[in-house]
Amino acid sequence: MDLVPVFSAALQYRHIRVADGAGFALGSVTEEDSSSKEAAIWSAPAAIETAAKKSPGLGEMEGEQHLGLAPNPTQHFITDACDSDHRLDWETDLASAMLVFSELKGGYLMPENTLTITDNRTNKTYMVPVENGTIRAVDLRQIKTGPDDFGLMTYDPAFMNTAACKSAITYIDGDKGILRYRGYPIEVLAERCTFLEVAYLLLCGELPTEKELKQWVYDITHHTMLHETTKKFMEGFRYSAHPMSMFVSTIAALSSVYPDARLVRSASDRMHQIVRLIGKVPSIAAMSYRHNVGFPYVYPDNDLSYTENFMNMLWKMVEPKYVAHPAIARALDILFILHADHEQNCSANAMRAVGSSEVDPYLAVASAASALAGPLHGGANEEVLKMLDEIGSKDNVPAYIKKVKEGHIKLMGFGHRIYKNYDPRAKIIRWSAEQVFDVTGRNPKLDIALELERIALEDDYFVKRKLYPNVDFYSGIMYQAMGFRPEMFTVLFAIPRTAGWLAQWQELMTDPEQKIARPRQIYTGYGEREFVPLDKRLPAPMPAAYPAD
């Protein structure tokens, strides 16, 4: 019998527990004349008995000695080799037995792609499969100290080392500074595609054919209008409302306009909402800007491309037809491509976590956009501009870097959880910024940024921690040169990222392994306490503090 394939098959069942001594059973199944696999496993106890008599040389065992009847100890063996509350298939039992046998034989039968764990609390050994460089956290649950033990869990605050999904959308190699969408390098897509082509690629898995692209652009273009009640809804915001707050709230409000969006299990309904969302996010973004500056809203113009139309809705005044500068429209398109997806970042994770409750995509995208708004995520681009303003001139850079190294502040637009090398998007933005500056004139903040980068990249603090400029470091300088106010920067990030969030959502909704996201916790609070009546309570050690108005 060729054991390794059997072992591999058994691994697929994913419920492998190795009981002490079960490996002796392998003496029986290594024999060529095993009449069947079942016979082999059922004869295991006999093998154990024989092996015990002949120990320690398992290799000396004679096959025919182990292929006899399966006496009572068979049951004992099966129970022992299996998870106590889950009767496993015979292949798993066999695999369990084989593991210990392999160890006794010096490990030569140990299959690749498994991890052996010895629990020093119980002295038991377990084997778990390794797939794609990961083990499944639930495989650890079989590791228990006793019947009342819940089983081992992993503790991973901030998901430092936990894959929460399988995804075929975006690939990042953070050490090498590689970013690909569906296998295509970001540099190639930025040079050769439009944003809508890339959005199609992210959502559908392939670049569109000419015909598909035409239809896709038509569909998106014909979903850019907002219901008039949405316009009225936006009019209700305070005049000084931050555009990102308006963006998030209005996306959420679309849930009330499209009740059909709740049909999240229907592929065609999902696609309908995806087209609506990609079509409408620039309109909402532009309206949040116009509201902020007190200008009347501008309706979409279907003759224009995605980015040209966005610029039209932002900046059209009294001219009968808005004409975008082609270099600026293209630069914006490139920025949209660079921001379209970035695998399991904070906002994509929010999209997946919220979407896993089967809520409609408007509410899920609003949640993702809320996550993006934070200064450690997409909100960093606005913070970079504030930082450059605060630094003021190149001469003040060394003093600013000193404050960063002393831990008083962070260098915004620097550092990344995944990239431990130059963010490839930042490289493209630096290049693209030059094209924009040819049209708009150079943004003087660029010199401060370049000096910050130069000093930081030579400094031991940043070198040791592998802190490089990220996408947000240069994007704000470019946006500002194009005419955007800093409060709009994160909204500019959210427009293209909507395509990425929706691609992540599609993948989630069609992944049979996914369920509602529900992490575990390590409870550190009190055990059950007796209720304390109001007049007997002591002041809390940390009373709630409110700022004075």
Q: Which residues lie near ligand CMC (CB under 6 A)?
A: 345, 376-378, 380, 404, 410-417, 465, 467, 470-472
Three-state secondary structure along 473-521?
HHHHHHHHHHCCCHHHHHHHHHHHHHHHHHHHHHHHHCCCCCCCCCCCC
- Phi, psi (degrees; rounded to nearest 5) at 172: -125, 130
DSSP 170: E
What is the smallest separation between the CB atom of 445 and ligand CMC, expressed in angstroms?
A: 16
What is the smallest separation between the CB atom of 425 and ligand CMC, expressed in angstroms?
A: 9
* Comparison of 166 and 465: residue with beta carbon closer to ligand CMC: 465
- The residue with tokens 């093998």 is 47
What is the smallest separation between the CB atom of 47 and ligand CMC, expressed in angstroms?
A: 52
- Phi, psi (degrees; rounded to nearest 5) at 207: -65, 145
CA 453 to centroid of chain Cα atoms: 28
* Comparison of 355 and 415: residue with beta carbon closer to ligand CMC: 415
What is the smallest separation between the CB atom of 179 and ligand CMC, expressed in angstroms?
A: 12
Residue 382 CB neighbours (<10 A): 26
Euclidean distance between CA atoms 46 and 415, whole angstroms: 61
Check if 272 is active-site.
no
Residue 192, SS3?
helix
* Comparison of 377 and 430: residue with beta carbon closer to ligand CMC: 377
Q: Which residues of 232-264 are buried (b: 16+ CB within 10 A; e: fewer)?
A: ebbeebeeebbbbbbbbbbbbbbbeebeebbeb
* Comparison of 305 and 381: residue with beta carbon closer to ligand CMC: 381
Cβ atoms of 425 and 338 closer than 8 Å: yes
* Comparison of 129 and 379: residue with beta carbon closer to ligand CMC: 379
CA angle 521, 527, 530 (to 5 degrees): 140
What is the smallest separation between the CB atom of 349 and ligand CMC, expressed in angstroms?
A: 11
Euclidean distance between CA atoms 545 and 385, whole angstroms: 32
What is the smallest separation between the CB atom of 466 and ligand CMC, expressed in angstroms?
A: 8
The residue from 377, 408, 447, 459 that is catalytic is 377
Check if 76 is active-site.
no
Residue nearest to ligand CMC (CB): 415
The residue from 416, 447, 460, 535 that is catalytic is 416
* Comparison of 267 and 463: residue with beta carbon closer to ligand CMC: 463
Check if 66 is active-site.
no
From residue 368, how far is each of 271, 362, 420 by CA, in Å? 18, 10, 25
Catalytic residues: 377, 416, 472
